[in-house]
Structure 1
Amino acid sequence: MGFGQLAIELIIGFFSLLLFTRLIGKTQITQLTAFDFISALIMGELLGNAIYDDDTGITKILFAIAVWGLLIFIIQLLGQKSITLRYLIEGKPSLVIQKGVIDRQALKKNRLTINELQTLLRDKDVFSVREIDYAILEQNGSLTILRKPEFDTPTLKDLNLPLNSKSLPSILVSDGVILNDSLQSIRKTESWLKKQLKKEGHPNLDNIFFVEWREEDGFYIIEKNQLSKDS
């Protein structure tokens, strides 16, 4: 196999996998279950073997990716329609701590040791089991916890503090480039941005590296010369 053919097959395989991951959604990354892990592993193996096999052409590579992707898509579609099939493929969440008591049978069923449970708890900034009221082992292996009231973080309502609404910040300039989509989302224009930056003491837009804006907080601005000073 020549370098030119190898490069072409790698490029086609790369964009095929990229398209595949976009079509099946974001669960492959954000909620990686055992089924998702096996699917991604097999997909990588199919592509790798196809690329480095001299007898396998580009058509077979695309065919292998398409068939495997179609199978995963069908399974996901059926899982959305059938709760039984969904549980069969992805499993069920398990209640491993209930009312402060560790369920040893649930740990045994999920092949989870006490030490592994403590590690998962420490990932949640919990260093003592006594602080936990309920803990659920999710299908992707992560742990969701509910602390006991005496160990829970107080809220503003608990402290009788005034509640102020918060909006999402918008990044208006990134890497020195004005993001017009962000300006449109907050119903502002580029001329408005330049005018506001001048009011903030930044008349030279070419020196701006990053601008974040939130209605209740105003602007957060980083200049390019600030970066050079920090480095």
Structure 2
Amino acid sequence: MMYFMIAVKLVIGLAALIIVTRLLGKKEMSQVTPFDFVYAVVLGGLVEENLFKKSFSTIWEMLFGIGVWGLLIFVVEKTTQKSDKLRPILKGQAESLVKNGDIQIKNLNNAELEMEQLKSLLRLKGVFSMNDVKDVILETSGNISVLLKPQAQPPTYAGLDVHAPRTEIAETVVDEGKPVLKGLRNIGKDEKWLNQKLTEEGIQKLDEVYFAEWSESDGFFIQQKS
């Protein structure tokens, strides 16, 4: 009975957490602020707190706690969207760490960052010299946005006055030896076309292919099974 109760609570708790997090919106881990992290931890804690209690009534207590907490977070999210004054208090705000090539020492200290930590973050962005940096912004997620000095920026087609090649988003058409019908529909093709194209590539059987994608600009990328 105890194990059944735990299983029921896990299922119901998971469903409730999924519903709440979907209602509060999608975010990548890189976009999560300290505030978002706290509400996620509390949501998980509400389920964990009631998990090993034996009473069925704790299921309703758990759902009530998740519902109230989710409602509070929803209100805070909507409030911060509409209030420029509350947003930096609850969500934080971006800070300039380097401006026009000058390191903003005060902001660096306020962010509890040392120069070596800043240089480490820059290296993760592919920047290995402060001499190449024009501006650095510390985002509320803890990541940095970097603007390089003009001489350190990679050349672009526009800068070189060269016509850029056409590019298209590649669609997956084969996954683990099976045709991906959605991908084929997205490019206006069918399985007959797929088999014909694979034959042209020297592949006689579809199940020989582990993965394949197609784009109008680049054609096929095919990985056969080993």
Alignment TM-score, normalising by the size of structure 1: 0.90
Q: Give how far 1:209 is off.
A: 1.6
| 1:42-61 paired onto structure 2 within 5 Å | 42-55=42-55, 57-61=58-62
Equivalent residue for 2:133? 132
Residues 45 and 117 of structure 1: CA distance in aligned 2, closer, same or farther (over 3 Å): same
Q: Give how far 1:52 is off.
A: 2.1
Q: Could you tell me how far apart the structure 2 residues matched to 1:170 and 1:15 are?
A: 32
| 1:115-154 paired onto structure 2 within 5 Å | 115-154=116-155
Equivalent residue for 2:201? 200
| 1:1-231 paired onto structure 2 within 5 Å | 2-27=2-27, 29-55=29-55, 57-224=58-225, 226=226
Checking the alignment, whether the CA contact within 8 Å between 2:2 and 2:54 is kept in structure 1 is no
One-letter identity of the residue aligned with 1:113: E
One-letter identity of the residue aligned with 1:43: L
Greater relative contact order (CA < 8 Å, ≥ 6 in sequence): 2
**SS of structure 2 residue aligned to 1:43:** helix
Q: Could you tell me how far apart the structure 2 residues matched to 1:191 and 1:83 are?
A: 56
One-letter identity of the residue aligned with 1:27: K
Equivalent residue for 1:229? none
Checking the alignment, whether the CA contact within 8 Å between 2:178 and 2:207 is kept in structure 1 is no
Checking the alignment, whether the CA contact within 8 Å between 1:28 and 1:37 is kept in structure 2 is no
Residues 176 and 57 of structure 1: CA distance in aligned 2, closer, same or farther (over 3 Å): farther
**SS of structure 1 residue aligned to 2:164:** coil
Q: Give how far 1:28 is off.
A: 6.0
Q: Give how far 1:137 is off.
A: 0.5
- Unaligned 5+ residue runs, structure 2? none
Q: Could you tell me how far apart the structure 2 residues matched to 1:89 and 1:209 are?
A: 47
Q: Aligned pairs, how many?
A: 225
Checking the alignment, whether the CA contact within 8 Å between 1:21 and 1:28 is kept in structure 2 is no
- Unaligned 5+ residue runs, structure 1? 227-231
Checking the alignment, whether the CA contact within 8 Å between 1:10 and 1:51 is kept in structure 2 is yes
Q: Could you tell me how far apart the structure 2 residues matched to 1:21 and 1:184 are?
A: 31
Q: Could you tell me how far apart the structure 2 residues matched to 1:163 and 1:114 are?
A: 38
Q: Could you tell me how far apart the structure 1 residues matched to 2:36 and 2:166 are?
A: 38
**SS of structure 2 residue aligned to 1:70:** helix
Alpha-carbon RMSD across the aligned residues, in angstroms, is: 1.8
**SS of structure 1 residue aligned to 2:85:** helix
